[in-house]
């Protein structure tokens, strides 16, 4: 259970030393150090701590059946509560310009000086060396002004599947379209879950990872939409070349996994997963999608 809400007093800025965010001798970004991993790690560690001081973010997770604090910590999940900039020296100072400039070059800050992930739950993704090289963010505030992006993607280098460790532990895998949906299933007890960073995020590196893993079957948990249908069939077609069988969760029309849990609760997931239906590409589907 997440219990830190009871101690909420605001995100404590006094905890953070300026040196903690690269104040001293911060290296320039170059070819030998493309991700500037020290600073990246510190920023995501800040977001992780911020999550446990934000009642609204924790309540958002609770509505999705996510209450395991240890799981959240293990995965490094955080919340960008818009306070990171307040911990840094002002931009008009030498130290402030140095740190903020490097954060902007890394894509962690936008041109206006604000945080790229502001207002989102943040899911860092680590590569095979344990380095954070990409991340997914999902806003928790509904009905924002028109044009606001609810799903954010940050990357300096692809890290492959989110929760890739599952590929080395299970022969039956559930594939989600983003890390939040993977977290919902993980919290419901399904440990054999991986995710891409978006519905169209399945690429060559994911196919190679599955082909070289223990996986023998994949259940695709993409949206019950036209785009979800098309992408599911394309993924199934690619996986069939590796001898991996595919099935698909049968969501109601227009619904995704998060919406399904909000409407039916996490208990209904076992019926959804046990009722997965075979998924394969067909000539008729290709014609319908305008691909042949």
The answer to whether 122 touches 79, Cβ cutoff 8 Å, is yes
Question: What DSSP state is assigned to residue 161?
Answer: S
Query: Do β-strands 132-139 and 120-126 pair in parallel, antiparallel, or remain unpaired?
Result: antiparallel
pLDDT score for 21: 43
pLDDT tens string 119-164: 999 999 999 889 999 999 999 988 777 878 889 999 988 889 999 9
pLDDT score for 184: 98
Domains of the chain: 4-155 (3.90.980.10), 164-288 (3.40.1360.10)
pLDDT score for 290: 63
Strand partners, 173: 218
Could you give the CA distance from residue 176 to residue 137 in angstroms, rounded to a whole number? Answer: 15
pLDDT score for 148: 82
Query: Tokens 């800025």, residue?
Result: 13
The answer to whether 184 touches 68, Cβ cutoff 8 Å, is no
The answer to whether 199 touches 177, Cβ cutoff 8 Å, is yes
pTM of the model: 0.85
**Sequence-ordered alpha helix ranges (H) in 94-178:** 94-105
pLDDT score for 285: 58
Of 13, 161, 159, nearest to 87 by C-alpha is: 13
Q: What are the average pLDDT values for consecutive 10-residue runs of the chain, which has 292 residues?
A: 43 34 40 63 93 95 96 97 87 83 88 90 94 94 82 90 95 97 98 93 91 94 94 93 93 96 96 94 61 54
In angstroms, what CA-CA distances link 111 with 38, 106, 221, 269? 22, 11, 36, 42
Beta strand spans in the chain (E):
78-79, 120-126, 132-139, 151-155, 172-176, 193-195, 217-220, 245-248, 277-278
In angstroms, what CA-CA distances link 5 with 59, 62, 81, 100? 9, 12, 15, 31
Strand partners, 153: 136
pLDDT score for 14: 27
Could you give the CA distance from residue 134 to residue 154 in angstroms, rounded to a whole number? Answer: 5
């Amino acid at each position: 259970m997440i219990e830190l809400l009871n101690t909420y007093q605001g995100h404590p800025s006094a905890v953070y030393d300026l040196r903690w965010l690269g104040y001293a001798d911060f290296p320039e970004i170059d070819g030998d150090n493309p991700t500037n991993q020290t600073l990246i790690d510190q920023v995501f560690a800040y977001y992780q701590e911020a999550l446990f001081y934000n009642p609204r973010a924790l309540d958002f997770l609770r509505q999705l059946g996510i209450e395991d604090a240890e799981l959240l910590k293990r995965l490094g999940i955080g919340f960008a509560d818009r306070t990171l900039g307040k911990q840094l020296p002002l931009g008009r100072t030498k130290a402030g310009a140095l740190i903020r400039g490097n954060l902007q070059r890394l894509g962690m800050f936008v041109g206006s000086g604000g945080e790229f992930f502001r207002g989102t739950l943040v899911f860092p993704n680590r590569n095979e060396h344990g380095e954070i090289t990409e991340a997914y963010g999902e806003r928790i505030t509904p009905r924002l002004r028109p044009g606001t992006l609810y799903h954010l993607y940050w990357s300096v280098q692809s890290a492959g599947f989110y929760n890739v460790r599952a590929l080395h532990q299970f022969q039956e895998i559930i594939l989600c379209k983003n890390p939040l949906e993977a977290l919902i299933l993980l919290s419901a007890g399904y440990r054999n879950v991986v995710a891409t960073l978006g519905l169209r995020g399945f690429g060559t590196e994911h196919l190679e990872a599955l082909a070289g893993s223990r996986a023998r079957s994949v259940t695709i948990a993409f949206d019950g939409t036209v785009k979800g249908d098309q992408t599911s069939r394309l993924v199934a077609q690619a996986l069939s070349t590796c001898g991996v069988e595919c099935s698909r969760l049968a969501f109601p029309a227009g619904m995704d996994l998060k919406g399904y849990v909000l409407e039916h609760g996490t208990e209904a997931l076992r019926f959804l997963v046990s009722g997965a239906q075979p998924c394969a590409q067909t000539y008729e589907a290709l014609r319908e999608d305008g691909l042949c």
